[in-house]
Structure 1
Amino acid sequence: MEAREVLTKFKQNEITLEEAEHYFRKQPFEEMDYAKLDSHREIRSGFPEVIFCSGKADVHFTQIFKKLYEENGEVFGTRASRHQYELVKELFPQTEYDEISHIIKIEKEKKEHVGKIAVCTAGTADIPVAEEAAQTAEYFGSEVERIYDVGVSGIHRLFSRLDVIQEANCVIAVAGMEGALASVLGGLVDKPVIAVPTSVGYGASMHGLSALLTMINSCANGIAVVNIDNGYGAGYIATQINRLGFREK
């Protein structure tokens, strides 16, 4: 439970004073020998802990997933495999898995998604990273507008959706190859642009390094760059920006 939920339940006489005290007396992490779950992360940062699933042993992954769900009533993981999905689906049949973004989650029903984040890709091959960004932002409560396959090789496609992009509180630009989309968007909007280089491209793209260098060296203002293929990082930062933009309206 979140701190606000505990206080609300106590105020409404749904839990006792002793039960509320027990929650706040807990140490800020839970020791699992192989992991220390940061149970107070949402109190500090506004976002609960997320699982980076890739590379985790089966027993570690399933126990971490189980513990976070029991703690928060929902859980979100990135870079999950279908094998990992099959493991936790046996425990929690309501688990959802997206083959494109490799996101695995159990999600509470949210009342609404607020503000707006525009997630744009240069090409269709960039969509897996873009979906990681978009679904991260949606999980954390942001409204997301997807605008895919609007790269600079056919820039008229971007202009056809420009009004929607300019309405957003933050823009995520996902591109491989030469990574020029972020620079173009940076010159067209008055909101922050989060650039995400992807590993999409031929040999000289160097698995995303070419796009990364282009984005870092952009002549457009207002662009911040995350690591190659880091859709989650982009979705997280964009949500922080979107929350500020929503509060100011």
Structure 2
Amino acid sequence: MELVNLVFNEEGYAQLTLNRTEKLNSVSKQMTEELYKALQKVKETKDIKFLTLTGEGERAFCAGGDLTELHADMNAEEAYRVLHPMKVVLFELATLPVPTIALLNGQARGGGCELATACDFRYGVESASFGFVQANLGITPGWGGGVLLYSRIHPNAAAHWLMEANMYPAKQAYRIGWLHKMVTVNQLKSMDMIQSFLNKTPEQMKWFKKQYTAYLFSQDLSQKMEEEVQQCSHLWESDAHKEAVQKFMDKRKN
């Protein structure tokens, strides 16, 4: 079964949907590979105005990495091999030639927030909550999303969120500038919030994205994201991480 659905809308934009509702759209190796291939297709397709990214269902946009694959028993080298492919996906998404919009249909936590942060804009349902919760598991963001967060919002707010590691309700995420719009479930389903993008030409949108990327990101963005993956990989084999994951898994069983 395909875990990522890519549709090219006749109105001139691409729709990318995470389709793993039974696992809260958590990211597996298969999903990582499909995301990368889908982004390459978008890059190769002419006359695309923008890309939307959302999750199937109403519970979650993305619950982060699949813990059955991202288990705590890996050493630093093994963790790096597992984490690095999603860093590549996030970099491709952040530097895509067209604007990207995360339509957050439900909660995003951990890597799910990293994935959303790789998008240029984020529209979220009012009832959802979002959190960079990695610090609660004894690690840092592992896909380069922390680096991206410092670019997207005020660095002080980014540092506080990453270290605090709390889930933020939509209003708080909007207040710090991470969410661009709060919408209802019906608005999200009807795609009302993207109408203002549709009357622009593909050429306009590509120029806007080029200007934005040049202003926002430094030349060494990929290297900075790479360093974050390495930092997370180093922490992966720590006792603090192993104990935190075990507590989390025990809590899920009860």
User: Fold conserved (TM > 0.5)?
Assistant: no
- TM (norm. structure 1) is 0.30
- TM (norm. structure 2) is 0.30
Question: Which gives a bigger RCO, structure 1 or 2 (Cα 8 Å, sep 6+)?
Answer: 2
The structure in which a higher percent of residues are helix is 2
Q: Work out which of the two has the higher radius of gyration on C-alpha atoms and give 1 or 2.
A: 1
